[in-house]
Structure 1
Amino acid sequence: MDGICTLANDHVYDQLIALLNSIEAIYGQQMPVCIYPYDNNTAQIAAEIVHRPNVQLYNNQDSIQQWDEFVRNVWDSHPTAQEHWQKIGSDKYYRVGTHRRFCAFDGPFDRFVYMDADTLLMSPLEPIFAQLNQNEWVVYDFQYKDLSHVYNASASKLAELFTPEKLQKEIFCSGFYGSKKGIFDAEQKEWMLKNLQSGEASILYDMAPDQTILNYMVMRSGISSYNFAHQLSASEITGCCVTSSHFEERNNILYDKGNRLTYIHYIGLSSKLFSRVCAGENIDFPYRDIFLHYRYLSEPDKRPKLATKPKDYNEQASLAARVLKKLGLAI
């Protein structure tokens, strides 16, 4: 069975509803969706999906606990991560709930597409699922432009493990990918953990904890991967990030130079921003109307009127300048 997965808790409720509605706009309620819980704060989500028979909240506690333990063991083997996190005011483990997306490898779908809660689906996913007939890992993003947010580029071990070509071609963003159930079993996880504990953990980038581990798992295991961003022609390719200002909207779908986007990723925007807008605060941000359309798709009468003068989401710096500097991956 094929399905779509995401990761959420009640803090990203408004974004989650928009994502679910964007999926439903394309597939109706025929596409199964599984939500992996970031933490136990999911009461609002649980109440909402009662009305969505195709959506489930993952509750396999053995799977959740095993992945939680795996990730803690990974970071326990890192030479500097925990010291760094504690200096910036974090707990011993940083954003540990983000790793629960890994539960999809144990989850209900034989093949799945994972989408972050701050994305919206713009096109059917059949090309992604079809490519999974040839590859075990399928992505469509431009993270390859910025190695520094995937691995510790200064780690000497990095060049020992991966060739420059592999680093250029195979790194990816953890916000959208297609894969399969069971590709990382207990034996593989144990093998990778031993490698990390033997010194390979030094290559991990500790401020993107789920992204760096996921890239390591895919690349170190040697499974076959495919990135549409490397394969499509210049006339076919589209961007995916909110930092791209040139997308055109037609009937609540975004297009890049005439080509329909696969998804839009509101990367770099705080979940609090979306909550404030949904509460009626008139804050402007790129592609806000697209988000609001899908957020209130099934209840348009509840859409906030936003009658006051809009204020920019960040008066100190533009979205493009701030996020492009941070991520260096939008086109």
Structure 2
Amino acid sequence: MDDADLRELFRLMLVTRRLDEEAIALQRQGVLPAYAPARGQEAAQVGSAAALEKSRDFAFPTYRELGAAIGLGVDPVAYMAMHLNIWHGGLYDPNVARLAPPNAVVGGPVLHAVGWAMGAKLDGTGGAALTYFGDGASSQGDVHEAMNFAAVYRLPVVFFCQNNGWAISLPTADQVAGGSVAARAAGYGIEGHQVDGNDVTAVFEATRAALERGRAGDGPTVIEAMTYRLGPHSTSDDPSRYRSPEEESLRAERDPIDVAATSLSAQEISDAEEHAAAVVRRTTEGLLAMQRPPSDELFSFVYREPTAALLDQHRAWKESQDA
């Protein structure tokens, strides 16, 4: 990675941070119903997403991967429409973005990624899947099944765990037996690595190597990015109820934005701030200008061919609206 690469990754991280701050402000103003902050996880998300080859790879996010969306070039307005509750999963085209719709099911995107990786292996496209999940989600049976299946069939998938220290209010020490998600990979006979999740360069290099192994037919990899959620789990959460100010202050010393900024000049940082501010303004204006879709679209995309029961429900709904 050269200096230009680092500048670009820092720019994407800063856009993510400023959009994240704006999203919280919009939620507090009542514009967004709810939001899951990503502050502190920008390096893990941007660095991993940047390692993908958009011509053939695909990423499967949770509900907290704003940085991955920005790293893959998704229009922020289209992505944030999900949080505005305009459209479930955002208004961007997943096939173009190479980013699946955000998944709010804990551990859910891991299964989807493995299914996609099986398809990629069968059709010989040479692509690899990257799936996100947290340390809390690593306790889900879905994650075990996905890793075991991927290992048995040597699928091209990277299991990217963002260990942010907390499964909502439960610390990792009480959530992950053995203390390491990456160490579990050995039980499946696959690669497993811990990486500094606050160092965007380290994340990028580790993810790129894992994706290359997958594309080469060497099977899946588990990457555990050790990071920290600097904010609340969601805008309805109060982290002061379960962690101390001293802990938060100590962990803020490894803020991924500050870590990356140490390699940049003051002018480069200023330029990145100016760019991020412009993106935030444009995104906020776009979100506020959005119109809600027609209410009966609720029935439009359930099945390719609507069933008799769905048509009856639609008819009953229309009658209730006209009453």
Q: Which has the higher helix share?
A: 2
Please give the TM-score of this superposition, normalised by the length of structure 1.
0.26
Please give the TM-score of this superposition, normalised by the length of structure 2.
0.26
Larger Rg over CA atoms:
2
